[in-house]
């Protein structure tokens, strides 16, 4: 038998056969197919190839977790900085309020830089700056309601050492 006749007989074996549609069981066929064949990890057809998961998904998952943790750490740091800034803003506001009260108050002496003084509210409108601290009055009543202990700074602003409400 020649090569030509041998190849001809093989060709005849591969001729398409007619399909009898009435013999196809759709329920069985449905169980053997996938809705999204591109997402299954094994070959879904005779000529298909197996999709083997790689480490890429694991690497991406770890990277996402690390990114999330790092971002949360940075957000926490920013939140802490915001708290610190809010505290500084409150102290500055308190300092401005007390400084304003001091410059409205009666000051019967020339304040010296670096010295501690005491601000008292004598009446609803009157304030006085004193050299005598709230605890130093002894048996006598203070001249008014204690407002704050302050210290005069070199730039003639006032540092609040202690306030009545704190």
pLDDT at residue 86, rounded to an integer: 93
Q: Is residue 115 part of a domain?
A: yes
Q: Would 65 be classed as within a structural domain?
A: yes
The H-or-E segment that residue 63 falls in is helix 56-104
**Is residue 108 situated within a structural domain?**
yes
* Residues 27 and 34: beta-carbon distance below 8 Å: no
Give me the pLDDT at residue 10, please. 55
Residue 64 lies in a domain: yes
Query: Would residue 70 count as lying in a domain?
Result: yes
Domain that includes residue 91, residue range:
58-163
Q: Which of 151, 162, 155 is nearest to 116 (CA)?
A: 151
Asked if residue 50 is part of any domain, the answer here is no
> What is the per-residue pLDDT across 122-147, written as a single tens digit (0 to 9) for each?
988 899 999 988 788 777 777 888 88
Residue 42 inside a domain? The answer is no
The answer to whether position 129 is within a domain reads: yes
Positions in the chain whose pLDDT score sits under 70: 1-13, 30, 32-35, 37-54, 166
Number of structural domains found in the chain: 1
Adjacency order of strands within the sheet including 127-130: 127-130, 116-121, 145-152, 158-163
Per-residue pLDDT at 149: 92
């Amino acid at each position: 038998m020649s090569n030509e006749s041998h190849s001809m007989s093989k060709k005849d074996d591969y001729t398409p056969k007619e399909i009898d549609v009435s013999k196809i069981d759709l329920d069985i066929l449905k169980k053997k197919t996938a809705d999204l064949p591109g997402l299954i990890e094994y070959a879904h057809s005779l000529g298909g190839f197996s999709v083997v998961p790689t480490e890429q998904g694991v690497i991406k998952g770890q990277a996402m977790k690390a990114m999330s943790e790092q971002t949360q750490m940075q957000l926490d740091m920013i939140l802490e900085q915001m708290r610190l800034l809010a505290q500084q803003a409150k102290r500055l506001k308190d300092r401005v309020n007390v400084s304003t009260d001091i410059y409205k108050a009666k000051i019967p002496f020339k304040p010296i830089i670096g010295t501690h003084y005491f601000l008292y509210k004598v009446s609803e409108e009157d304030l006085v700056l004193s050299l005598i601290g709230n605890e130093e009055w002894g048996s006598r009543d203070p001249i008014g309601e204690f407002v704050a202990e302050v210290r005069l700074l070199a730039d003639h602003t006032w540092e609040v050492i202690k306030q009545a409400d704190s």
